[in-house]
């Protein structure tokens, strides 16, 4: 059976899905929005325009480079996405960008729907951009696969609402606007879900959030995302900080409420962790300044840095701190393990499917500063044991590379790719 893959992004996991289908001889076409193509006239024009207004459009486009599938199998629909990027740069409130995003997702799905025709027999698409192409596919008797790459939408929304109730300063205009949009977005996702013959989820956590919301999870198959290439066991074992100095911790990614950043600050301040450790934060600082300033002793904010610089800090640090309240997967965890860096996270990170507490990292309770402080104190008091975790961390990444993901994904897709009769067994054999 021939598969039409539809996703507006070219993120690593999307490209790996495309590669899995291509390697199996199943990929008919990958439909996306913007991919880096320096030969395209409009990209050259956009780069020149960006330079004129002081915006590095070329770097933005380069992040959308395709590496995993032949270009002749890719078709792009860039115009609405370019409009969204432009509006987002001009409108700092985010309101206009949100509106354009909604239009762009629907326009993209309608564009893909016109490509859902023979020899395509299966359509594989993602949250918010699937409905029109699914409707077109189902009308022609095609099978459809839906990928849920994040927690059920009301789970994360309710999580942040609970934090706003405790810490009102967290609330922004975006959160207030999101509250009004949530019923419509949830209904939209439910229609996509109901249309699907099979749902691919990236973690058991993601699956559990949909189950709690009353979705039919009998058609879910969980396929954890793969890790980037790992360093050698010897390199992993040799990493970390000087045991005679302070414990070195690292944070990578948005430093915001949904990631549990304010609980880390609370744990740090209340437990006096600056006596034992230092924390380097890499990524956008998204908490209100009243919650961060002045930064607690021992915490340094670096902003966004190139990936090579971040990996260098991973090599020289003792643990990654990732106390998220809701994360469908959290690829920062697998990236840390690939460098031999143990991970401190919560069960609300999908990557915790790969975590073995006490072997390649530690689990803290989500939204619990005391539990997080306990985990950090354990690391400071057990430097030798923490050091030994580096080899297990590296083994975790080595044992679940993208090639393993691709194999597991194709196995999960087996019934749908085998034809309609086999696909009917999905619900009876979850």
DSSP annotation of 71 reads G
pLDDT of 94 reads 60
Domains, in order of start, for the chain: 2-226+403-423 (3.40.50.2000), 233-400 (3.40.50.2000)
Residue with tokens 């439910």: 190
Query: Using CA atoms, how far apart are residues 64 and 295, in angstroms rounded to an integer?
Result: 34
Query: Using CA atoms, how far apart are residues 136 and 201, in angstroms rounded to an integer?
Result: 23
pLDDT of 91 reads 63
The encoded tokens of residue 189 equal 């996702």
pLDDT of 272 reads 86
The encoded tokens of residue 218 equal 């009998």
What percent of the chain is predicted at pLDDT more than 90? Answer: 77
Give pLDDT tens digits for 250-276: 999 999 999 999 999 999 998 889 999
Residue stretches of the chain with pLDDT short of 70: 88-97, 419-430
Bridge partners, 279 (sequence order): 249, 299
b (16+ CB within 10 A) / e for 209-238: bbeebebebebbbbbbbbbbebbeeeebee
pLDDT of 54 reads 80
Query: Using CA atoms, how far apart are residues 237 and 390, in angstroms rounded to an integer?
Result: 6
């Amino acid at each position: 059976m021939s598969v039409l893959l539809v996703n507006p992004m070219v993120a690593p996991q999307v490209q790996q899905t495309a590669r899995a289908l291509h390697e199996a001889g199943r990929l008919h076409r990958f439909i996306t929005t913007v991919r880096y193509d320096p030969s395209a006239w409009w990209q050259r024009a956009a780069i020149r325009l960006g330079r004129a207004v002081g915006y590095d459009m070329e770097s933005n486009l380069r992040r959308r480079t395709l590496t995993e599938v032949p270009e002749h199998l890719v078709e792009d629909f860039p115009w609405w996405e370019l409009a969204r990027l432009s509006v987002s740069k001009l409108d700092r409130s985010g309101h206009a960008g949100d509106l354009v995003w909604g239009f762009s997702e629907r326009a993209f799905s309608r564009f893909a729907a016109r490509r859902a025709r023979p020899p395509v027999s299966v359509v594989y698409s993602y949250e918010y951009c699937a409905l029109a192409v699914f409707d077109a596919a189902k009308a022609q008797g095609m099978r459809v696969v839906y990928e849920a790459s994040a927690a059920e939408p009301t789970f994360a929304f309710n999580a942040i609402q609970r934090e706003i109730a405790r810490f009102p300063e967290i609330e922004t205009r975006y959160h207030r606007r999101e509250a009004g949009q949530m019923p419509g977005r949830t209904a939209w996702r439910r229609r996509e879900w109901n249309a699907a013959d099979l749902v691919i989820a990236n973690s058991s956590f993601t699956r559990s959030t949909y189950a709690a919301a009353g979705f039919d999870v009998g058609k879910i198959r969980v396929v954890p995302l793969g890790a980037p290439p790992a360093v050698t066991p010897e390199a992993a074992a040799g990493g970390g900080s000087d045991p005679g100095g302070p414990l070195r911790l690292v944070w990578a990614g948005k430093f915001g409420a949904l990631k549990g950043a304010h609980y880390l600050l609370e744990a740090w301040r209340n437990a006096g962790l600056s006596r034992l450790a230092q924390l380097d934060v890499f990524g956008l600082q998204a908490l209100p300044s009243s919650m961060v300033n002045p930064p607690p002793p021992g915490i340094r904010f670096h902003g966004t840095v190139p990936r090579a610089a971040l990996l260098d800090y991973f090599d020289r640090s003792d643990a990654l701190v990732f106390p998220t309240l809701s994360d469908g997967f959290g690829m920062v965890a697998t990236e840390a393990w690939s460098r031999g860096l143990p991970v401190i996270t919560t069960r609300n990170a999908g990557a915790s499917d790969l975590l073995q507490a006490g072997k390649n990292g530690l689990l803290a309770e989500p939204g619990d500063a005391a539990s997080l402080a306990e985990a950090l104190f354990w690391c400071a008091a057990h430097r030798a044991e923490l050091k030994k975790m580096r080899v297990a961390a590296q083994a975790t990444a080595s044992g679940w590379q993208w090639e393993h993901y691709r194999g597991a994904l194709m196995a999960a897709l087996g019934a749908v790719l085998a034809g309609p009769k086999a696909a009917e067994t999905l619900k009876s054999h979850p």
